[in-house]
Amino acid sequence: MIIKAFLFDLDGVLTDTSELHFLAWKRLAEEEGILFTREDNEALRGVSRRESLNLLLKGRQVSEEQAREMMERKNSYYVELVRQMTPANLLPGALEMIEEIRRLGLKQAIVSSSKNAWLVLERLQIGEFFDAVIDGNSSARSKPYPDLFLLAAQAVGVNPGNCLVVEDAQAGVEAAHAAGMKALGLGPRERVGAAELVFPSLESHSANEVITFFEGL
């Protein structure tokens, strides 16, 4: 397989916002008298805001209006935390990799389920590296559906079969495969083991190494 474009998930791949999502959901849960642990938070990785709320509510019934208000409240707590981010919040190896991809002249895009992707990119000061940013506002169907990845392939003008997805969530790897793309998974195998290649993180890995590995597939 020839890689012509890298499609990067954002949260958990280039920066670790999962702690900020956790703090914001936990604040909401406490206000609502719901127990929400760090372990519970793991199931929310890569999952949309709406689906995250459903998981947090653990079967508790709320009206549509209440659900919307809770999502807005959580988001305001989250945005408050994101505003304090700086380029120091880039994960090790992330900047090196996107710089290398640009030097190689390949396309690269952000494909995130988050509606806050642009804000996070601004805080990290890396928006200029990407040929397209597809986020939670781009499609009604989020990961594990393939829609966001297919939109990204179209936006950068590369066939899905030549796109390599970089993901830290199971739902993201599933979405990549559903889009006819191969994936580099970051994190434990229990989570991203379905990806064709798995690294603990981007640290100490180069884009060239990834390109060479996938040429053999």
Give yes or no for residue 168 binding Mg ion (CB under 5 A): yes
Helices (H), 63-116: 64-82, 94-104
Give yes or no for residue 136 binding Mg ion (CB under 5 A): no
Residue 162, binding choice from Mg ion, ligand BG6, none, Cβ under 5 to 8 Å by partner class: none
Peptide bond into 160 cis (omega under 30): no
Contact stretch for ligand BG6 (CB under 6 A) within 38-46, 54-62, 151-159, 206-214: 38-46
Give yes or no for residue 116 binding ligand BG6 (CB under 6 A): yes
Count the site residues for ligand BG6 by CB under 6 A: 17
- Quick check: is 11 catalytic? yes
The answer to whether 183 touches 75, Cβ cutoff 8 Å, is no
130 phi/psi in degrees, rounded to 5: -105, 140
Among residues 167 and 196, whose Cβ is nearest to Mg ion?
A: 167
The answer to whether 151 touches 145, Cβ cutoff 8 Å, is no
Candidates 16, 14, 41; CA nearest to 27 is 41
Interface residues with Mg ion (CB under 5 A) are: 9, 11-12, 46, 168-169
Interface residues with ligand BG6 (CB under 6 A) are: 11-12, 21, 44-49, 52, 75, 112-116, 136
